[in-house]
Structure 1
């Protein structure tokens, strides 16, 4: 399990073009018995641990089983999904809930959540600093810069919640700078930012590669077992394609049930990244809920309001498309 090379080199390979399901099968049939309204769908994804069930669904032919032909499109973050969903280049997309709920609340897009994606666990989301950094506590982040993959999303909110617990107020515009996850090692090495917010597998890889330290685990206290991300469609798509959405939900529910077995996730990771099975076995794993729970997702909007990312309460129940 030696990992001495630069993470930038390793993870450049991780951002591979992911192949779709391909092939054609007879539709499994939805509520109306006629199969999905739209068979070929484009799904936005990110090459992180959170999306392992999506890869499992493809590998195991679970989308084909439901009559769907899925093509995956790689994204830098959940915020990128918004214009692509609205513009129609994506039919479904994985993304963090903060980006999704924020865009919906502002009227940028009318969204529906069709599948829960990932909940945090110790080690899945962390603030990290360079090995020799003078930053030793969260309080030391006052007046410093933190790199995140995108602003006003789950990363900045979790960091702000952690800072607030240490009587530090972080500013969305002044405290954060944006860099893709694969560049976080270089950011720390060059001192471009004082700290980085990373998710697995990047946290483990950065730690091994340059000895970066975990300053704070973002899955504890008020953000323990926190809903991180899910899969969304536009309301227009959900209304026009109810059987397609239901087919996607069934495939993902089956895949997430398989993902409850850690061995299946470990086996999947090397197939959509260049991370070895040995390294995958050492990653921190969260959970993959098989159903959508409005009460749990409401925690996200409550935290968003406390962080100033939402002006008014958002009723998550109105955004959920119940599975079949």
Structure 2
């Protein structure tokens, strides 16, 4: 792992603590109470299937869904400009944001949305200052360190879980004479967009368990999204975490082995909100999620790759090779957050040595109230 990346992980908690103290929303108790005491009304087109019990950890669980076109827009009285930071604009898991922007779903809510490419460690301090309004990212170790340091940030919506046929995950270059069963990851290098402290620590820990562990002995190399595959192919790194559809470039080729991927039925990322959308402007926060959910229900409800025209459209929108996009199974877009996910993530971060102290309770890391309001779910 680079000195810069390591420094970011270690110092981000202090940076966010300072930012939180200067935030105009940090001590806004009235706003916080009002955010949690909002009236939730039934939403047309979003019935019983629009919410699932977070405690249901079944890998075969069907994701929550409303009817196409639901939930209907509820335009804000005044247009609200929002900036969403994301690590990339070309990965398939970003497709709902790109489609929502292109199809005018954000605009229908009275939102003027800009998508900005920023890695999570760089974007978090900007979220604290209000320079970005939301992150399309994951509850990385840096996020947990920031929350522990006093910053009011929550994971508010999931993104996807993989299809059972997907081989998105940990890929390794085999040494001479080595087979997949022989692989031990200790002391090998790993190429990743985030570096040490990424959410992939959790599925990697599960994948390495039967292989002698070694999560704390991997040498992490932080790379740009376009460089991860290249580094694996040219020997710049020994292994890499490859997303859909990138893994198709090495699948079936000699010299590579797939060790494991994201758990089925369990999103590990999505929307992260800071104090402005959590407390000061909750209407805008709900509107943003409503547009996102409507996009999923309308365009990504099930096997969206069964529509050849939509795949062609998506490939052009994401600027990725259409043949490669067609070659992978559709992601299971899933806006809900499973119970205990941030507990399991924090356990993996501790195993890597990038977080210290007692684990944060889920009440400080997750807020499901906004997407529940968007679909009309009342407890």
Per the shorter chain, which TM-score range?
0.7 to 0.9
Q: 1:84 aligns with which of 126, 130, 145?
A: 126
Q: 2:187 aligns with which of 134, 143, 146?
A: 143
Distance 1:194 1:276, change over 3 A: closer
TM-score (ref. length: structure 1)? 0.76
1:269 aligns with 2:269: no
Aligned to 2:293, what secondary structure does the other structure show? helix
Partners of 2:139 and 2:155 within 8 A in 1 = no
Shift of 1:119: 2.1
Aligned counterpart, 2:27: none
Aligned counterpart, 2:281: 241
Shift of 1:301: 4.1
Aligned counterpart, 2:369: 322
Aligned counterpart, 1:232: 272
Give the aligned CA root-mean-square deviation in angstroms.
3.0
Aligned to 1:320, what secondary structure does the other structure show? coil
Q: For 1:137-176, what aligned pairs fall within 5 Å after superposition? A: 137=180, 139-151=183-195, 152-171=197-216, 175-176=219-220
Partners of 2:267 and 2:338 within 8 A in 1 = no
Distance (Å, rounded) in 2 between the aligned partners of 1:215 and 1:263: 25
Q: Give ranges in structure 2 of 5+ residues lacking alignment.
A: 1-72, 374-379
Shift of 1:201: 2.2
Distance (Å, rounded) in 1 between the aligned partners of 2:226 and 2:255: 14
Partners of 1:93 and 1:231 within 8 A in 2 = yes
Shift of 1:303: 4.7
Partners of 1:115 and 1:252 within 8 A in 2 = no
Partners of 1:115 and 1:292 within 8 A in 2 = yes
Partners of 2:184 and 2:212 within 8 A in 1 = no
Aligned to 1:227, what secondary structure does the other structure show? coil
Aligned to 2:332, what secondary structure does the other structure show? coil
Q: Can you list the C-alpha shifts for 1:183-235, whole angstroms capped at 9, x where unaligned?
A: 12331233221111111122123548x7663331223xxx3333221111212
Partners of 1:121 and 1:285 within 8 A in 2 = yes
User: Who wins on radius of gyration, i.e. which is larger?
Assistant: 2
1:205 aligns with 2:205: no
Partners of 2:138 and 2:272 within 8 A in 1 = no
1:281 aligns with 2:322: no
Distance (Å, rounded) in 1 between the aligned partners of 2:204 and 2:337: 25
1:95 aligns with 2:151: no
Q: Can you list the C-alpha shifts for 1:98-123, whole angstroms capped at 9, x where unaligned?
A: 34642344327321223221223442
Shift of 1:66: 0.8
TM-score (ref. length: structure 2)? 0.66
Aligned length: 287
Distance 1:83 1:268, change over 3 A: farther
Shift of 1:166: 1.7
Q: 2:171 aligns with which of 112, 128, 145?
A: 128
Aligned counterpart, 2:66: none
Distance (Å, rounded) in 1 between the aligned partners of 2:268 and 2:163: 10
Q: Give ranges in structure 1 of 5+ residues lacking alignment.
A: 1-27
Distance (Å, rounded) in 2 between the aligned partners of 1:134 and 1:314: 44
Shift of 1:270: 1.2
